[in-house]
Copies of this chain bind each other. A is one copy, B any other.
Amino acid sequence: MTEMLENRPGGPRTPDPRLLAECLRACAECAQVCNACADACLAEEMVADLADCIRIDLDCAGICATTSAVLSRTGTTGPATASLLHACIAACAACAEECQQHASMHQHCRICAEACRRCLNACEKLLLSLG
């Protein structure tokens, strides 16, 4: 994907292409990890206690996947990019907080909280670079 960003006719669609590449990587990873965490929660005996965690995982996965699609197509030039990054940050912050509460009991929640924090940070840095 890095090679792709470097070969765009007309140049990259963002002030700092490295931040865009990092955000794309983090969004794609977070979408997968959140979906996997939802499935892992469903495989736990205490699934009833994890119902909200599953919902938050799924919403975060969907929002990260869409952020990935929009950023990979229009970079940070789209008219809804900034507000979509805000939504992605809100989803990742909520998911990181929820999963962190179960992190000592469930490895998948610990891993998911980490992926959400990485994605949150990457989105915030990208958003800051837009000025």
Give the B-binding residues of A (Cβ under 8 A).
1, 3-5, 7-10, 13, 24, 28-29, 31-33, 35-40, 42-45, 47-48, 51, 54-56, 58-63, 65-66, 68-70, 72-75, 78-84, 86-91, 93-94, 106-108, 111-112
B59 near A8 (CB under 8 angstroms)?
no
Knowing A1-B33, A1-B36, A28-B32, the reply to whether A91 touches B69 (Cβ < 8 A) is no
Cα-based distance from A8 to B3 in the complex (angstroms): 33
Smallest beta-carbon distance A97→chain B, Å: 8
A43 near B8 (CB under 8 angstroms)?
yes
Of A4, A43, A69, A111, the most chain B CB neighbours within 10 A belong to A4
